Amino acid sequence: MPIIAPIPRGERRLMQKAIHKTRDKNHARRLTAMLMLHRGERVSDVARTLCCARSSVGRWINWFTHSGIEGLKSLPAGRSRRWPFEHICTLLRELIKHSPGDFGYQRSRWSTELLALKINEITGCQLHAGTVRRWLPSAGLVWRRAAPTLRIRDPHKDEKMAVIHKALDECSAEHPVFYEDEVDIHLNRGLTLSGTKTHVKQRFLPLTPLLMVSDVLWSPVLPA
């Protein structure tokens, strides 16, 4: 005589489909144990077939009796999230629509440390930058560098390069040439929504002491 209540045919079919589709072998074992018990097999036979202890089968019977099929599902691995995950993911997507400069920061692009600082300021949480980085894929955000699609040729490039080469040829201890990052191009890694593409706009520099070396990254500062 079965030691569990009879399982309706429709519910048994759902259990069989779940066994075929689930990737959780422990969940499949629990469902299989209930179906075997429904057919009238003994607890000892079920435990021997599924390579588990009799106490485990008894525990599964209690779960199934009190909660049904849902009670046999495995709990998520690890501890539960401490912070409001959905709320923070929504906040992340809204923050990257703005520049850090809109909030008074002297940065051109967001970083996980800066995002954590701003989120903690808004929500009062104590979120770590590493946690923000782990949550980025779940929020639909990816790290991406801007593609340097420079489509317009600088009409004054030859003239600028001539001045640059002349300055480099005449470089000495008395007349040094210094190089400075062209930070306005924003080639640093940044946060964007998944599936979007960023571009770099070309910005021509006038014929002043601040000149372009490679038209992309570097500019020399000539001595006065």
Domain boundary among 25, 40, 70: 70
Inside any domain, residue 121: yes
Inside any domain, residue 96: yes
Q: Is the pLDDT of residue 166 over 60?
A: yes
Inside any domain, residue 159: no
* Polymer length in residues for the chain: 224
Residue 106: domain span: 83-143
pLDDT value of position 106: 84
Q: Are residues 66 and 31 in the same domain?
A: yes
User: Distance between CA atoms of 122 and 132, rounded to whole angstroms?
Assistant: 14
Secondary structure in 3-state letters for 123-189: HCCCCCHHHHHHHCCCCCEEEECCECCCCCCCCCHHHHHHHHHHHHHCCCCCCCCEEEECHHHCCCC
pLDDT value of position 193: 67
User: Please, are residues 190 and 145 in contact by the beta-carbon 8 Å criterion?
Assistant: yes
pLDDT value of position 156: 85
In whole angstroms, how large is the CA radius of gyration of the chain?
A: 32
What total number of domains does the chain contain? 2
User: Please, are residues 166 and 158 in contact by the beta-carbon 8 Å criterion?
Assistant: no
Q: Are residues 66 and 120 in the same domain?
A: no
Query: What is the pTM (predicted TM-score) of this model?
Result: 0.43
Q: Are residues 61 and 104 in the same domain?
A: no
Single-letter residue type at 127: L
Q: Are residues 51 and 95 in the same domain?
A: no
